[in-house]
Amino acid sequence: KLQQANYDGVSSPSLCASISEEILKAVKGFGFDRYKYVVSVLIVEKTDQAMIVASRCLWDVQRDNWVSAKCETETFIALALVMACYYD
């Protein structure tokens, strides 16, 4: 979906929302019912700039976890972050 896309500042917010929903649906499909998920997707136009993305969390290091993924094309960089938080 992203590999064929070009950066468009107008449609990027809806694309981020769509991708977030797809990721959330896929993650929930794993069946880990004791977890709640936070999914964040960021699409940034490539204009020869540097970018630093950071996040901080307060959680149980034994049970909670996260994963990130990056997709880079000629016109943009897309970053996805999924955080899984265990709950009783």
Query: What is the pTM (predicted TM-score) of this model?
Result: 0.88
Position 45 scores a pLDDT of 95
pLDDT at position 1 over 80: no
Question: Range of 42's domain?
Answer: 12-86
Indicate the number of domains in the chain.
1
Which tens digits make up the pLDDT trace of 29-45? 999 999 999 999 999 99
d(CA 40, CA 35): 16
Residue 5 lies in a domain: no
Residue 7 lies in a domain: no
Domain of residue 47, CATH code: 3.30.1140.40
Residue 42 lies in a domain: yes
